[in-house]
Amino acid sequence: MELSLSTGCIYIYPLRFTFSIARESGFAGVELVVAPEVELRAGRYVRRLAKSYGLTIFSLHPPILPLPGWSDYRTIVPRLIDLALEAGAGYVVLHPPNARSLADDRGRRYVEALREGLQRTEGTDVRIALENRAFFRPRDRGYVLSDLRELRAFADELDLPLILDTSHAATSSYSLAEAYHILADRLVNIHLSDLRSPPWPLDISYLHTYLKHHQMPGDGQLPLADFLSHLAADGYCGPITLEISPIALRIWWPPSVKRQLARCVAYVRRAFRVPCSNKRQRPPTTELLPPLTSNDRVLALEFELHRHNLLSPD
């Protein structure tokens, strides 16, 4: 197990401060969230900076706040891949689209971007990984790939790795244990945080990502200690990424940020007790099979498109 910090937790600070505090707090690396400084300085600078602090850039995440030029998957995916290659990140994180099906306009753009991304990453050290969706409003449940079993089937078709976000899973129709069971052998990263109901005046959907999701481990309702112990017993050795709300970290006061992050690290280390012996690179179900090429994945994606009536037979 390797501890990773999402740079989105403390996005108001310069990268140099973020990397410094990550190293000081005991993290082995980061999940780099695209932000203005990342765009301005580019991936090679980020790679050098991470190396100077002895950190690994495990993964690359799209912007969490609106940025010009980051609204269409057809531009987001190639930009993420190029940045990941420059920065040395192993995974590009994508969320399912806010589309009712893969047949509507937004769904089509997502599929097109994913198809091109799979071809673009062929022969590189970068892979595209899908993260389970968060549910903030009732309408979110109507989006495609929202159900974890549907997401898993889609990932199986394309041989895509998956990322489990614990607070997102807690707002799905599955328990955390059920969500883990569904996704387990494709997981390459865990986004760890707790879920806690905010006071009723603040229980507003657009505040949930800050005040309900992504709370400090142990401060909410999720059995995260048991979950981490189960991960350890199962031999999970990938990154566990702390993805904590800036409000929960009290981002406005740097000494508090340091204390809260140290508390997170201690919580994970205390709960994750079983040492890893072999780092799992591929799901057990595919270890005896040859890896899929980009052409294989594109064919599988076209099969999915046929299922959604997006392509006409020749």
For the chain, give percent helix, strand, coil, nearest 5: 50, 15, 40
Residue ranges of alpha helices (H) inside 122-253 are 148-158, 166-170, 176-183, 208-211, 224-233, 246-249
Instruction: Name residues whose C-beta falls within 8 Å of residue 205's C-beta, 6 or more positions apart in sequence.
Output: 136, 137
- Strand stretches in the chain, DSSP E: 2-6, 29-33, 56-61, 91-94, 127-131, 162-165, 187-192, 239-242
Question: pLDDT in tens for each of the 314 residues of the chain?
Answer: 999 999 999 999 999 999 999 999 999 999 999 999 999 999 999 999 999 999 999 999 999 888 888 989 999 999 999 999 999 999 999 999 999 999 899 999 999 999 999 999 999 999 999 999 988 778 888 899 999 999 999 999 999 999 999 999 988 989 999 999 999 999 999 999 998 876 566 566 655 565 567 899 999 999 999 999 999 999 999 999 999 999 999 999 999 999 999 999 999 999 998 655 544 443 433 343 445 665 556 555 655 555 555 544 33
Contact 94, 145 (CB under 8 A): no
Q: What is the pLDDT of residue 281?
A: 40
pTM of the full predicted structure?
A: 0.85
Domains belonging to the chain, first-starting first, are: 2-307 (3.20.20.150)
Q: What is the pLDDT of residue 302?
A: 59
Instruction: Report the C-alpha gap between 300 and 90 in whole angstroms.
Output: 23
Number of other CB atoms surrounding residue 177 within 10 Å: 13
pLDDT digits (tens, 9 = 90+) for 215-258: 999 999 999 999 999 999 999 999 999 999 999 999 999 999 99
